[in-house]
Amino acid sequence: MARLTGKTALVTGSATGIGLAVATRFAAEGARVVIADRDGDAAHRAAAGIGEAARAVAVDISQEDQVSAAFASLAEGGWAPDVVVANAGVQLFGQDAPAADLDLDVWRKMIDINLTGTFLTVKHAVRTMRERGGGSIILTGSPTGVNGEGKDFTAYSASKAGIHGLARTVAAAYAGDGIRVNTVVPGYTETSLVTTISDDPEARAAIVGRIPMGRAGTPADVEGIMLFLASDDSAFATGALFAVDGGMTTL
């Protein structure tokens, strides 16, 4: 039997990259999947590519009215999620910077999308799951929130560290409701989010050279741990960080 048969999963930021890979894998494992993305057209294309087991929702996770409306609409249509992957986020290359050089507007934009957007996704996921007797929430973190990997990305690193703390707090608060909350920490993973690095041979070599396994990550590398955390195989796992970074955070 497929590991997610009978479950419905919502994945934010899933029109492309890690989110799309995870949503596609979830569908292959028997789940119905909701492709939630700010780019509604891209979300519909992604859902069409997956097939009848998928539907698309256009939502800006930094706007609570949109997040709340999305969850309400899904519940009304019989698609209330048992699994929510809070994956959407941005990395503002060319704008993020060391703290003394960081513009306040850039800081606010990053926090609004990455941290507040994740909080709002989690908030409404919890409300939905309490009514359903539990569920699994998975957050996408980053090594920049664990060590000094993001020294030139103050806002991004702070937003991801905040996500890590949010996961632990929510996990503790709602364990009694059968809601599990865990964070997956992908290392350097080549998607459209990091073309500034992947298109620069010198910058790419510098970061790949710090990965003990000697290569960049791919979205496919993240699917398995997300599947485990979405499935009942991880029934006793909550409040934890799961690194998928080729050993980067062991250094």
Q: State the Cα–Cα distance between residues 150 and 193, nearest whole angstrom.
A: 15
Catalytic one among 156, 174, 188, 242? 156
User: Across the chain, where does the E strand assignment appear?
Assistant: 8-12, 32-37, 54-58, 83-86, 135-140, 179-186, 241-244
Provide the CA 152 distance to its chain's centre, in angstroms: 22
- Burial of residue 184 (CB within 10 Å: 0-12, 13-18, 19+) is buried
Beta carbons of 151 and 211 less than 8 angstroms apart: no
**Cα angle 108-110-111, degrees, rounded to a multiple of 5:** 65
DSSP state of 115: I
Q: State the Cα–Cα distance between residues 86 and 147, nearest whole angstrom.
A: 22
Structure tokens given for 150: 């993001």
Bridge partners of residue 217, in order along the sequence: 189
Beta carbons of 158 and 111 less than 8 angstroms apart: yes
156 is an active site residue: yes
**Residues annotated as part of the active site:** 156
